[in-house]
Every structure is written in C-alpha cells, then in structure tokens.
Structure 1
Amino acid sequence: MPKIPATALRFAYKGSRLKPLRAFCQVARLGSISRAAEALFLSQPAVTLQLQALERELGVRLLERSGRRLTPTREGDLLYAMARPLVEGLDGLAASFREQVRGLDAGELNVAAGSSTILYLLPGIVEAFRERHPDVRLSLHNVTGASGLDLLRSDGVDLAVGSMLDVPADLSYSPVYRFEPMLIMPLDHPLAGKRDLRLEDLSPYGLILPPKRLTTYRLVDLVFQQNRVPYTVALEVGGWEVIKQYVAMGLGISIVTAICLTEADRQRLATRSLARWFPSRSYGIVMRKGKFLSPQARAFVELIQPELLAPRAHDEGGHSER
C-alpha cells in the first residue's frame, strides 16, 4: 500500500475537525464522556479519542475532573465559548436554511410536556399557534421528568412546557403561570362546608394521590411531616382526570393543583384552597441554554410569554409533573 504523505494526513484531519469539536462541546456541556457519547450516538472510546486528538493539536489540556464531572480548564472555557456557536451553527445550518427559505409557514416544531400541561394548559396556546401557522407540523411529546429533559438535551424537542422544582445547570426555566393547591372532595363531604379548615381536619379521610415517584405525592408527604399531622393514602393512581373521577365517586379526597379544575369539575366537586399550607405550582418554558430557537419555536414561546424573547429575559426556577 503506497504511503500517504503527511500533508494529506493533516488535511484529512482538519477536514473532519467538526467531529472532535462537537465531542468536546458535548462533554463540556454535559460533564461526562458517557452522556456525551449517548447524545452523539457514539461509543465512549470514540469520544475519548476525539478529545485526545483535539488536545494534541492545540497543545493544551481542555478538560479536568471536578468530583464526578468533567469541567473545562481555563483554556477549555475559552475554546468552548469559541466553538459552541460554530458547532451549533453548522449543526443547525440545514434546518435554518430551509426555515429561512420557506419562511415561518413551514417546517416543524417539537414540544415536550406532561399530561396535565397538554390537557389543561396548552389547548388554547396550540389553537392560537395552529391558526397563525397552519403549515407548521406541531408535535407534542407526552413525557415528564428525566425523559423530557433528555429529549431537550439531545435536541429531540425544541423546548418543553411544564412545572419544575429543581433546574439543572444546563437548562433554563421561565415560570409563566401559577396555580393554587386545592382540596377536592364530594359535594356532600363534611369538610366541604367546614369553617376555618385546618390541616388536621384532613387526617381522618383517606387521600387519593398520584404515585410516590411524582412531585405531588412527595410534596404532600413533606407538608404533613413538617406540620406533624398524620395522614393516610387510600389510593395511588396516575392522572388528574382519574383522581377527580374517583373523588366524585366518594372513594376519598385529594390535593390537586388548580390547573386541572374545570367549570364542570366545580359543579360535581367541592373545592377548598390549601394555599395556607402548600406552595403554589408554577408552569413555564424549559429550554437548553445556548440553544438556537427556530422561528417556529420563537413563535410558540411568544404566545406563552412574549417578554421571554426580550434581551433582558433571565433564568430561574426546576421539572416535574403532577
């Protein structure tokens, strides 16, 4: 086999420089070679080799271990700031070009949201978006928690809408709506007309709650524990609609977020605010920091919160459903 000139080798390497830069940016963003490999659909050794090649070419160490995470060195921070816009710009070049050519009335938009958000919060927003941009293919991905965040990080969706309690460092959360915690019960329940309702008054009655892994159950448990009030769970079941139906049947009482209560619900259920003991729940927009928003995504965000797209918009808040 004829020997390949060294100049040709250098040219071939520089021709594929995007790959090691992309690998470096993913590791710097996610803090882990394994997570970067998953996001890039590569093996861990392949990502490691690309990082080593990049460090050899630049002659500096780009990453160092800090606890369980890999974090950029001083030189790595500089390269990340320079390389990230280039990598994201090239990765999004084809989609951006198509969007610019076809305009806003074409393309697609992927949004992650949990069941309660899709059912109670998004219908009006989706309706308005469809009226303004009928040619955009809108896909709502019914996912919550870690699954929704993984879709965001891997660019499987453009943005997410939901409720967050703890916000990872690589994501931004902008709360838009707040809803009160509510006690729901049958119309003829003893607590329905009780004056000066106390948390202790709930103790004799079995609660119908979402599964333990979801935020509502953990929050209910925390509040009762902090106030040293005993409580019992009569039934664990997923979905606000199922919970409301079982409460209406007299199988127990429940603590829900006001987002799920419709006018029809208020005619068949008695409701009492529990804002004295339980915090309100915020719902808003979750995005990956530094992500380029397509015109379709910007139009959707504009319908939810116009000021989010202003230059002085800032991050706050964290994710879970129910």
Structure 2
Amino acid sequence: MAPHTSPRFSYKSDRLKPLRAFCQTVRLGSVSRAAHALFVSQPAITLQLQALERELGVRLLERTGRRLTPTREGELLYEMAQPLVEQLDGLEAAFRDRLRGLDAGELRIAANSSTILYLLPRIVEQFRARHPDVRLTLHNVVTDDGTEMLRADAVDLVVGTLVDVPADLSYEPAYRFEQMLITPPGHPLAGQPELSLHDLAPHPLILPPQRQVTWRLVDLVLQQNRVPYTVALEVSGWDVIKQYVAMGMGISIVPSICLTEADHGRLAARSLAAFFPARTYGVVVRKGRLLSPQARAFVALIKPDLLAPREYDESGHSER
C-alpha cells in the first residue's frame, strides 16, 4: 500500500503569501482592498485564499453584507497567523532597531491635545533626556483618528482614552482621573452643600465636540439618569473650555488631569465621582504587533507596570 501523503499545493513553496493574503482580507474586509494593500491582483488573492481553504479543509471566510468576515475556523486561524505574519513582515525593521538599540531610530505617538498638554510633558522630558538621538514625533489628533493611524502603521502607539476597545487593538489603562464639575467662582452650584445630577439641568454646558470621549460620556450618564441638558458651546481643548467657563458662559465636566494650580483662583471645581466613572488614560497598540525598543522605553515611562516580556495578549489587556 502506498504511504499516505498530504495534498500538496504549489503555494506551499511560499507559505507566507496565502497567510498574508488571508490576514489582510480579514483585516480589510474585502479581496480588492487586500489586493491593493499587497500590490497584487485580485485573482491572485482569490487563488491563495482558495488554496488555503483546500489545504485546511475548512471554510475560512463568508460574506456578511458587503464585507468578508471570518468563520469560526477563520477567526482561529487569524488569531494564530496574524502575529506570525506581522513578526515576519517586521523582521528586518525589528532587527535593525535592535541592532541600533535606543541610540537611534524614531518613535511616532498619537495623542489628543489634552494628553499632550497635561499628561505627556514630564514623560516626554524624561524620554528625551534618556534617548536624545531618537526622533520623537507627537501627532496631535483625537483618539479615534489616532487608532486609524495605528492601523495604518503611521504611528507606533496611541496614548489616550478608549471607552469601547476594538477587537484588533489592545488598551491598557495607566492612569485614572475623576470627573470634575467646573463653574465660575460664586456660581450657585459651587457652594451648594449637596449636589445631584439634576442640579446641572438648568445650566448650559460647554463641552468638547461630539466625536470626543468626554461628550459621549456626559451624554451617556445624563441620558441614563434622565437629566435634560443643553449644550451652549462645543469647542476643542480644555484650556479653551476652562477660559469660557471662567468667563461665565456655562459650566463644564472635565477630567481632573486638566485642572492645575493656576485654575484655583478663576474656577470652582467639585468632584462628580459619585455619578461618573473614572476617566482612564493609557496605551493603545495593535494586537500581535511587537513594540520597537523605542516604544517599549516610552511605555515604561508612562507606567512601569505596563512593560513585561509577555506584553499585550489577545484579550486586549496585559497578561499579568
């Protein structure tokens, strides 16, 4: 009897190609987008996917509306293959980074203006003192735009706030800050002995734009507690919001991180911790992607506990 042999396909001579095609198709949701990202034709991607399904003997992708999504078996393969593909694709860059160490290279970080202004200055100062030859770039963008840059490999990591963590990203909170009500000095709410959410209803709010986390958080909490509210002004930047509150144009709800000693004379602040969850700031990275030495050094300064050999697992949180 002839010995049993596994079926052989020509693509096996380069196993990375079909796995890369599969991972890109899952990530982007279509064969055409995967082909564009990999600079190959759509038929080539289709053939690689078909060969992969034949070898494994299972269906890996199915169409959901206009998007290709992985089957249960496809999700398992993506979980196993994506880290391998990214590690191999990034092998040369990772090798050169290790070879140079931390004395050269670059680090690209996305963060919103509040994070850059209030949270990062001390960390950036320490990083620059320890690694003066690393070219550090801070991209001032809202967190949602930062995560898109992360997916496109335009930045190495994002520092900010995530309320809902997408499946392809990992978010590790590093700091927690309570939400504060700020008013002008002498405002009725500033001296009121007991404060409830309904006490805020008559007073116009000054909030960041709707796409930002603070606006969504305020809206969620007030809606859940059936508190009517009006937004008098939407404006970006905590410094601008604080200025308009100090001028008496409204009240606002801000994280305690943005309140400094200079604000004590012009603003009254009261904790809303009894009504709002704590606001977290932390590090956002892509799952399965190895951080460069420069990124690891920066994360260690944000919070040493975040840095470990195992780093970020597939659940989206550190393994410790």
Tell me the TM-score normalised to structure 1 length. 0.83
Cα shift readout 1:7-57 (whole Å, capped 9, x = no counterpart): xxx99x77876544322222234544455456x2647xx245324235337
Instruction: State whether structure 2 residue 53 is matched by structure 1 residue 53.
Output: no
Task: Describe the shift of the 1:79–1:264 C-alpha distance in structure 2 as closer, same or farther (beyond 3 A).
Answer: closer
Aligned to 1:7: none
Aligned to 1:104: 102
Counterparts in 2 of 1:1-322, with a 5 A limit?
18-33=16-31, 36-37=34-35, 40=37, 42=39, 46-47=41-42, 49-56=44-51, 59-60=54-55, 63-65=60-62, 67=64, 68-71=67-70, 74=73, 77-78=76-77, 81=80, 83-310=81-308, 311=310, 315=315
Partner Cα distance (1:128, 1:37) in 2: 42
Partner Cα distance (1:76, 1:288) in 2: 16
Partner Cα distance (2:175, 2:135) in 1: 26
Partner Cα distance (1:183, 1:269) in 2: 10
Task: Describe the shift of the 1:249–1:35 C-alpha distance in structure 2 as closer, same or farther (beyond 3 A).
Answer: farther
The alignment of Structure 1 onto Structure 2 pairs a total of residues equal to: 303
Q: Secondary structure at the match of 1:250?
A: coil
Partner Cα distance (2:160, 2:126) in 1: 19
Amino acid at match of 1:55: Q
Is the contact between residue 203 and residue 230 of structure 1 (CA under 8 Å) also seen in structure 2?
yes
Q: Secondary structure at the match of 1:174?
A: strand
Unaligned runs of 5+ in 2: 1-8
Q: CA deviation at 1:74?
A: 3.5
Is the contact between residue 115 and residue 142 of structure 1 (CA under 8 Å) also seen in structure 2?
yes
Deviates more, 1:208-217 or 1:183-192: 208-217
Amino acid at match of 2:47: Q
Partner Cα distance (1:224, 1:150) in 2: 29
Deviates more, 1:265-274 or 1:223-232: 223-232
Is the contact between residue 150 and residue 285 of structure 2 (CA under 8 Å) also seen in structure 1?
yes
Amino acid at match of 2:228: P
Q: CA deviation at 1:221?
A: 2.3
Amino acid at match of 1:184: I
The CA RMSD measured in Å over matched residues stands at 2.8
Partner Cα distance (1:50, 1:85) in 2: 20
Q: CA deviation at 1:78?
A: 4.5
Deviates more, 1:298-307 or 1:280-289: 298-307
Amino acid at match of 2:140: N
Partner Cα distance (1:208, 1:197) in 2: 19
Deviates more, 1:307-316 or 1:214-223: 307-316
Is the contact between residue 208 and residue 234 of structure 1 (CA under 8 Å) also seen in structure 2?
yes
Partner Cα distance (1:239, 1:200) in 2: 26
Q: CA deviation at 1:154?
A: 1.9
Partner Cα distance (1:282, 1:209) in 2: 18
Q: CA deviation at 1:158?
A: 1.1
Partner Cα distance (1:213, 1:278) in 2: 19
Is the contact between residue 28 and residue 80 of structure 1 (CA under 8 Å) also seen in structure 2?
no
Higher relative contact order (CA 8 A, sep 6+): 1
